[in-house]
Amino acid sequence: MENDSFIKLNRMGFVSLIAVAIGLMLSSEPLTLLGNNVGVAGISFLVFIPGAVLLHVVTALSFGELMASFPGPEGEARFIRMALGPVFAIVLPIGGRVLFTVSAATGILATAGYVFNETFFYWFPNLGFSFCLLGILVLINLMGPKFSEITQILFVSLALLSLLVLCIVGLSGLENPPLTSVNVKPAFLHIARAALLAPVLFLGYDLAGMTIAGTKTNPVDLVKAMVGGLLLVALIFYLWSIVSLRYVSPAKLADTTIPYTMTAKAIMGQKGRIFMGIVILSGACAAVNALFMAVSRMVAGMSTQSLLPSILGAARNRAPIPLVLLGIGTGAMMAVGMAGEPVSEVYIRAGMWLWLFNYAVIHLCVLIMSRRMPDKSKHIQIRGYRVFPIVAFTVLIVILVGLLWTDDEPILLIKTIFLIIAGLSFYGLLWIRFGSKITDQSKQQGLDLFLGIQRNHHKKHKEEENENKTN
């Protein structure tokens, strides 16, 4: 366990954490999900947004407990390993984060390419733009943590401001008058499905904790950044939901793959399309940049804990090898035309499911560790806090079961999740049995070699001193 001395974040560091925490929420995927569910559930969906945020605020508190004792990109894996064992520490972070990063980045960048082609430059090939954007984002991260953090702030600021302009204009009716509200009575099953999907809108705030490398950031500051980001995005989503229902009929919102563009165009015409194009492009950059920043460092950190091959941990603050591998995986999926394919959508939903399951497991680990080491789990001082993880764990498990039950392709989704967990578990067992020992032996041989060189150098220095004294 770590000591209890913490480094206070400066203002730029705090803003950077918020930008990473909400980066994924500003991409086209959550905006599509938001528009479709507002169309399906109508005004009742506005009730589910605060409930989803409350659930994630409790999860953010549990991540604060985690980071208090195990800070840094590898903190989550260390925490899970201590509570549940090394196999879980391999399966959960890799199964959710890495799978989702490659699959979602493929879809997000492909959507950005289409939007760039249709909104800004018709003559520029959409796939070519997607590859250019991928290369730029990999290069940004290779240039170091500071540069990627600054660009993340710029991406997020641009997306938020553009979306806020559309919300304000839509609420005020300055450009086009809103439509007459449509009174719809959605079926109970549709409302239930929308309620289950509401928490999916806010995935990704935990990425902020993985971008803290080599410092002991106060867990309260980290929780404030995650909670502040959640509340900010919830407010924007709330306003956007109201605007969407005012300008577009629920039936059209529910049936389209681009509800955000339909709403933006209804609000401001062609100018609205341009503003939404800026939102989608900057949101894509913010989402993929946040994923690359955090997940690459998570993989590098896990390698330092002997959970993955040690070569992945080279230059762990920049994590160039995991970063390049994530970029290659994303590029390969785009090259073979996986973006938009049904199987790719299944991979994304499987990654989302595993990510939410990971949240549930974090609550379970907090409960386990609080019983094993109660003196090490008192960083988040809230009366009755120990009840929160129990409630959140139960709610998340119900949501996960419900998402499987109501999915359009439940059997395929369950098979995909099972194969991912089984494959990673098999790898974990083999790695623990053989690979980690080889890594430990290599580290020991490296240490022995280093100490041997030091001893020889010291011995030679002593001989030279003795020779000088004799002369």
Q: Work out the average pLDDT over 146-171.
A: 94
Predicted pLDDT at 369 = 84
How far is the C-alpha of 96 from the C-alpha of 421, rounded, in Å?
Answer: 10
Please report how the helices 11-23 and 145-172 are oriented relative to each other, as an axis angle in degrees rounded to 10. Answer: 70
Out of 250-254, 379-383, 417-421, the most confident range is 417-421
Q: pTM for the full model?
A: 0.87
Of residues 57 and 376, the one with the higher pLDDT is: 57
Q: Which two tokens stand for residue 350?
A: 């499987």
Q: Work out the average pLDDT over 22-26.
A: 95
Homologous superfamily (CATH) for 11-428: Amino acid/polyamine transporter I (1.20.1740.10)
The pLDDT confidence band at residue 431, using thresholds 50, 70 and 90, is: confident
How far is the C-alpha of 432 from the C-alpha of 436, rounded, in Å?
Answer: 5
pLDDT in tens, 60-76: 999 988 888 788 888 89
pLDDT of residue 54 exceeding 70, the answer is yes
Alpha carbon of residue 324 to chain centroid:
18
pLDDT of residue 282 exceeding 70, the answer is yes
pLDDT of residue 284 exceeding 80, the answer is yes
Amino acid letter at 436?
A: S
pLDDT in tens, 196-225: 999 999 999 999 988 876 556 777 888 999
Among 6, 67, 1, 10, smallest CA distance to 216 is for 6
Of residues 274 and 190, the one with the higher pLDDT is: 274
Q: Work out the average pLDDT over 165-189.
A: 75
How far is the C-alpha of 73 from the C-alpha of 77, rounded, in Å?
Answer: 8
Amino acid letter at 409?
A: E
Among 411, 6, 46, smallest CA distance to 224 is for 6
Predicted pLDDT at 5 = 55
Please report how the helices 28-41 and 219-247 are oriented relative to each other, as an axis angle in degrees rounded to 10. Answer: 50
Q: Work out the average pLDDT over 264-287.
A: 94
pLDDT over 90 percentage in the chain? 54
Maximum CA pair distance of the chain? 103
Write the DSSP symbol of residue 351: H
The pLDDT confidence band at residue 238, using thresholds 50, 70 and 90, is: very high
Whether the Cβ atoms of residue 17 and residue 211 lie closer than 8 Å to each other = yes
How far is the C-alpha of 152 from the C-alpha of 248, rounded, in Å?
Answer: 32
Q: Which residues of 300-315 are buried (b: 16+ CB within 10 A; e: fewer)?
A: bbbbbbbbbbbebbee
Q: Work out the average pLDDT over 142-150.
A: 91
Of residues 342 and 156, the one with the higher pLDDT is: 156
Q: Where are the domains of the chain?
A: 11-428
